[in-house]
Amino acid sequence: MNDFERVARIIRYLDERHSTQPPLSTLAREARLSPFHFHRLFSAWAGVTPKNFLQCLTFAHARQLLQRGESVLDTAFETGLSGPGRLHDLCVRLEAASPGEIKSGGAGWTISAGFGASPFGDVLIAQSPRGICHLSFVDGGRKAAWKEMTQLWPNARWRRDDSTAGRFLGHLFDSSLNGARRRTLTAFVKGTPFQVRVWRALLRVPSGQLTTYGRLASAMGMPSAARAVGSAVGRNELSWLIPCHRVIRQTGVVGDYRWGKERKRLMIAWESARAPLAHREPSPIHITHSL
164-213 confidence digits (pLDDT tens): 999 999 888 875 544 444 567 899 999 999 999 999 999 888 888 888 99
For 192, other C-beta atoms within 10 Å of its C-beta total 12
Give the pLDDT score at 224: 92
**Which of these is catalytic: 56, 91, 133, 244?**
244
Domain ranges of the chain: 3-49, 59-279
34-93 confidence digits (pLDDT tens): 988 888 888 877 777 777 777 777 777 777 777 766 555 665 555 454 443 333 345 788
110-152 confidence digits (pLDDT tens): 999 999 999 999 999 999 999 999 999 998 899 999 999 999 9
Of 262, 100, 275, the closest CA to residue 205 belongs to 275
One-character DSSP codes across the chain:
--HHHHHHHHHHHHHHHGGG---HHHHHHHTTS-HHHHHHHHHHHHSS-HHHHHHTTSHHHHHHHHHHHHHHHHHHHHHT-B--SSTT--EEEEEE--HHHHHHTTTT-EEEEEEEEETTEEEEEEEETTEEEEEEE--S-HHHHHHHHHTTSTTSEEEE-HHHHHHHHHHHT-TTSTTSS--EEEEEE---HHHHHHHHHHTTS-TT--EEHHHHHHHTT-TT-HHHHHHHHHT-SBTTTS-GGGEE-TTS-----TT-HHHHHHHHHHHHHH--GGG---B--------
Q: How far apart are CA 188 and CA 233, in angstroms?
A: 16
Give the pLDDT score at 72: 57
User: Mean pLDDT lowest for which of 166-170, 240-244, 259-263, 274-278?
Assistant: 274-278
User: Taking 80 as the threshold, does the pLDDT of residue 274 lie above it?
Assistant: no
User: Taking 70 as the threshold, does the pLDDT of residue 288 lie above it?
Assistant: no
Give the pLDDT score at 172: 86
Give the pLDDT score at 206: 80
Strand partners, 117: 122
Pick the CATH number of 59-279 from 1.10.10.10, 3.30.70.3270, 3.40.630.30, 3.50.50.60: 1.10.10.10
Give the pLDDT score at 175: 57
For 14, other C-beta atoms within 10 Å of its C-beta total 18
**Catalytic status, residue 244:** yes
205-247 confidence digits (pLDDT tens): 888 888 899 989 998 899 999 999 999 999 999 999 999 999 9
CA-based end-to-end distance of the chain: 44
